[in-house]
Structure 1
Amino acid sequence: MTPLPQDRPSEDPLRRIGDADRDSAVERLKKAYAEGFVSHEEMDVRLHQALTAENHGDLASALASLPVEESAPASTSTIAAAGGRIKRRGVWRVPRTLKVESAYGRVHLDLSKAVFEHPVVDIELALGTGRAKITVPRDATVDLDGLRTGWKDSRYVPRSSRDGRDGPTIRITGAMGFGRLKVRHARR
């Protein structure tokens, strides 16, 4: 959601606003009303202020004393190392997009016990040399179409189509230089 004026204290109160700012303020007021932070009479007054606001100062007064919205969790994370190992295993949250960058090291991502909050996860690889191994959940679908390999082809044996596929879709993209990517499904 777009941050509003009181969420950005450095915002110039005299700077003009557009329709997107007004729409965002109206949505925030609706949410505050539904959660009981604003009475019916106060809602009418604040909506009028938000809809007729011309600058950020006007909009801030319409939204004054409302609870500050929590920001959305990051949907992209980057794991990077020049050399050495990159390793993730056990229970961990997988972001919507995971970027993995390594010039010389090995990469091992074990997603078998990971928590997936998105039905589709993109893993973007930027690897120079070294091997990469990704273990995916048993019921996952893997798409390697967007991966470019330089020296060795990736190795992946898809599970048979008769297995239920209600798990996440994992799209692996990016580029690998001289290493090899091995993708396998978890045994249990």
Structure 2
Amino acid sequence: MRVSDEDRERTAGRLQHAFAEGRLTRPELEDRLGLALTARTYGDLLGLITDLPAEQQAPPDDVVELESKSDHIKRSGDWAVPRRLRITSKYGSADLDLSEAVVPHQVVEIELDMTYGSAKIILPVGGTADVDGFRSEWGHVSTTDVPGRPRPGTLHVVVTGGAKYGTLTVRYPRKRWFTH
């Protein structure tokens, strides 16, 4: 039986989750992702995941909430990104760096409720972000060079909510230049 794009993406997500858990090496992940995204039948997809543990489904309302009145909310480095993240801050700001995080989900939903603060989201290279659901009354939204439509096999972030006087910036990591 032939598979759909959704079936391919679901399998790619399981492979990425297995890599994040240390069950696959990077070369194994890359090989299997290439095969998953070009698979034609369910047999093709099953052969890529049969040696992995059964998928455990998170509850549909799995939401992590972070709140602050005036402090800075920051997540970076090796941290586990939930499927849904809700951030509320009256005077503080939020910095979410997903570039080195463990992201077992193909799509991550981030809801921002920022009264006077701003938010910055750093995506892994190749990630995409839909910010159409975010509103800023006296600020702006910046997504320089970040595509808004999802792409197979890459992280897609959907940002909703708003800020009264703040801004939202979504970008890729800055390039680092090393000199010896």
Which residue number in structure 2 is paired with residue 148 of structure 1?
Answer: 135
Task: Tell me which residue corresponds to 2:99.
Answer: 112
TM-score between both structures, scaled by the size of structure 2: 0.59
Instruction: State whether residues 140 and 166 of structure 1, in contact with CA within 8 Å, keep that contact through their aligned partners in structure 2.
Output: no
What does residue 137 of structure 1 align with? 124
Q: Aligned in 2, Cα 1:160/1:147: closer, same or farther, shift over 3 Å?
A: closer
60, 75, 96: which one aligns with 1:88: 75
1:13-66 deviation digits (Å, cap 9, x = unpaired)? xxxxxxxxxxxxxxxxxxxxxxxxxxxxxxxxxxxxxxxxxxxxxxxxxxxxxx
Question: 1:139 and 1:175, CA in 2 relative to 1: closer, same or farther beyond 3 A?
Answer: same
Q: Where do 5+ consecutive residues of structure 2 fail to align?
A: 1-55, 176-180
Give the deviation of 1:185 after TM superposition: 1.0
Q: Does 1:128 align with 2:118?
A: no
1:99 counterpart (77, 86, 91): 86
> Would the aligned equivalents of 1:75 and 1:97 in 2 still touch at CA under 8 Å?
yes
Partner of 2:64: 77
In the alignment, is the contact (CA less than 8 A) between 1:110 and 1:135 conserved in 2? yes
Distance in 2 (CA, whole Å) between partners of 1:72 and 1:119 is 13
SS in structure 1 of the partner of residue 116 of structure 2: coil
* Deviation readout 1:68-103 (Å, 9 max, x if unpaired): xx9957721011101111010111111110001100
Aligned to 1:19: none
Q: Does 1:178 align with 2:165?
A: yes
Deviation readout 1:104-155 (Å, 9 max, x if unpaired): 0121111111111111110000000022111111111110011111101111
Amino acid at match of 2:163: M
Distance 2:114 2:107 in 1: 22
**Consecutive aligned runs of 4 or more in structure 1 exceeding 3 Å deviation:** 70-74
State the TM-score, normalizing by the size of structure 1: 0.57
Alpha-carbon separation, structure 2, partners of 1:99 and 1:138: 23
Q: Are the structure 2 counterparts of residues 72 and 154 from structure 1 closer, same or farther at C-alpha, using a change threshold of 3 Å?
A: closer
Change (3 A) 1:71 1:97: closer
Aligned residues: 117
Compare relative contact order (CA 8 Å, sep 6+) and give the higher one, 1 or 2.
2
SS in 2 for 1:78: strand
Q: 1:167 aligns with which of 151, 154, 175?
A: 154
Q: Which has the larger radius of gyration?
A: 1
Identity %: 38
Do 1:82 and 1:102's aligned partners in 2 also have CA atoms closer than 8 Å?
A: yes
Q: Is the 8 A contact 1:139 1:166 kept in 2?
A: no
Distance 2:108 2:115 in 1: 22
